[in-house]
Amino acid sequence: MYPEILRRPTREVKVGSIGIGGSNPVRVQSMTNTPTWDIDKTLFQIRALVDAGCEIVRVAVPDEKSAEALKTIVKESPVPIIADLHFATSLGKKAIEAGCAGIRINPGTFKNRKNLDELVELCKEKGVCIRIGINAGSLETEVLEKYKVPDYRAMVESALRWVSYIETKFKYYNIKVSLKSSNWWETVRAYEEFSRYSDVPLHLGVTEAGGLIPGTIKNTMAISCLLMEGIGDTIRVSLTADPVEEVYVAYEILKNLGLRTLYPDIVSCPTCGRCEIDLMELYKKVESIVRNLKADVKIAVMGCVVNGPGEAKHADIGITGGKGVGFIFKKGKVVKKVKEEDLLKCFVEELKEFLKQHPERVFDQRSLSLLDEKLV
């Protein structure tokens, strides 16, 4: 069972063909960390992100050669591309002309209001989604002067001000908002407060969260807290790590909240003195084998045959071991006993058979072919 989450009603906006807010599922986004002007590297990373389940990809546009590269990147990308802009509105215009489905602007880094107005007009003309990306570390001078510190109140005032400005002056509503701080609690308070006043879809995340483990914890605390309140329409788990890891972590969060499932749910015991197999190594191998399997299946990796199947009887399929032998079990019942060296091969065969019997649980049939490849 999962918590019953009643999502906050928001308007629907479009990033290319992808709907955000309204009745759409919580979308998963990420951002490339390659030099955007390096078209081959950037497209390679975009495809890796998409293979992992990413639905929208943001790329940095810091200079002219990056803006020029967008023509090819947008054309060859399998998902909508968002241009990340700071300071230069001229680059934003080039990104839009190149076909970007969205732009992210940080109002705190744009000083020329006339140029920004022209950029918004072009977005409206082309139907490009605008993300008003508020960051605690780069708020407008007047907002900081009022609040003295970049807390959640300052972020909310900045966001509401810019939403009102775009909606009122340009009558344009294809916009979404993010309010990010490196402090996860300030981030939560900002989104909660903003949600009281607006139905604009929200993109969740914690900025400057850190590496894989600390960053995952900070993001999970903030994003989970908000999603459980029904707040949030897209998420990005910002990590100082391979961006593909951001996508995996995002789906783990969504899966454990019962909002979206894309990958298997792996449960495993923490080991104890009864364990007669290298469980950590076994877990790593199972995790590696099913890492890119897109299917709704619960897998258990347990340390002993005495308690393993019973403790994991809720699992669709499980694997456990003893001295020189291994066991495959389904729904708590042992179905096969094999030599330890044949355990993983047998596990994959049984997993494939289970998914063959339950095709409705497989989201991408192509991912099944990856199971055998991991055994080579």
Where residue 188 sits, what CATH number does that domain have?
3.20.20.20
Residue 196 lies in a domain: yes
Query: Residue 45: what pLDDT?
Result: 98
Question: Is 232 in the same domain as 290?
Answer: no
> Cβ contacts of residue 149 below 8 Å, gap of 6+?
none
Please give the single-letter amino acid code of residue 192.
Answer: E
Please give the single-letter amino acid code of residue 219.
Answer: N
Instruction: Using the 3D structure, point to which of 256, 289, 304 is the last residue of a domain.
Output: 256
Query: Residue 39: what pLDDT?
Result: 98
Question: Is 137 in the same domain as 245?
Answer: yes
Query: Residue 1: what pLDDT?
Result: 74
Instruction: Using the 3D structure, point to which of 256, 273, 307 is the last residue of a domain.
Output: 256
Taking the CA of residue 23 as centre, how many other CA atoms within 13 Å lie in the half-sphere pointing to its CB?
A: 0
Question: Is 64 in the same domain as 156?
Answer: yes
Residue 156 lies in a domain: yes
Task: For residue 85, give both structure tokens.
Answer: 């802009």
Question: Is 55 in the same domain as 160?
Answer: yes
Residue 7 lies in a domain: no
Question: Is 208 in the same domain as 338?
Answer: no
Question: Is 221 in the same domain as 198?
Answer: yes
Q: Are 82 and 58 in contact (CB under 8 A)?
A: yes
Instruction: Using the 3D structure, point to which of 206, 232, 256 is the last residue of a domain.
Output: 256
Question: Is 36 in the same domain as 158?
Answer: yes
Domain CATH number, residue 369? 3.30.413.10
Total domains present in the chain: 2
Residue 134 CA to residue 155 CA, distance in Å, equals: 6
Smallest CA-to-CA distance from 264 within 173, 352, 198 is with 352
Question: Is 42 in the same domain as 190?
Answer: yes
Residue 21 lies in a domain: yes
> Cβ contacts of residue 165 below 8 Å, gap of 6+?
none
Please give the single-letter amino acid code of residue 48.
Answer: A
Residue 142 structural domain: 13-256
Question: Is 221 in the same domain as 274?
Answer: no
Query: Residue 375: what pLDDT?
Result: 66
Could you read off the pLDDT tens digit of each residue along the chain, which spans 376 residues?
778 899 999 999 999 999 999 999 999 999 999 999 999 999 999 999 999 999 999 999 999 999 999 999 999 999 999 999 876 788 999 999 999 999 999 887 777 788 889 999 999 999 999 999 999 988 888 998 999 998 999 999 999 999 999 999 999 999 999 999 999 999 999 999 999 999 999 999 999 899 999 999 999 999 999 999 999 999 999 999 999 999 999 999 999 999 999 999 999 988 777 777 888 998 999 999 999 999 999 999 988 776 777 777 889 999 988 778 888 999 888 899 999 889 999 999 999 999 999 999 999 988 888 887 766 5
Tokens 């694997």, located at residue: 319
Question: Is 178 in the same domain as 294?
Answer: no
Residue 226 lies in a domain: yes
Residue 3 lies in a domain: no
Buried b or exposed e, range 147-162, using 16+ CB within 10 angstroms: eeebbbbbbbbbbbbb
Q: Are 37 and 66 in contact (CB under 8 A)?
A: yes
Question: Is 126 in the same domain as 269?
Answer: no
Residue 4 lies in a domain: no
Q: Are 245 and 219 in contact (CB under 8 A)?
A: no
> Cβ contacts of residue 343 below 8 Å, gap of 6+?
282, 319, 321, 326, 328
| Backbone angles phi and psi of 27, in degrees to 5 | -85, 150
Question: Is 168 in the same domain as 222?
Answer: yes
Residue 181 lies in a domain: yes
pTM: 0.93
Query: Residue 180: what pLDDT?
Result: 94
Q: What is the DSSP letter of 328?
A: E
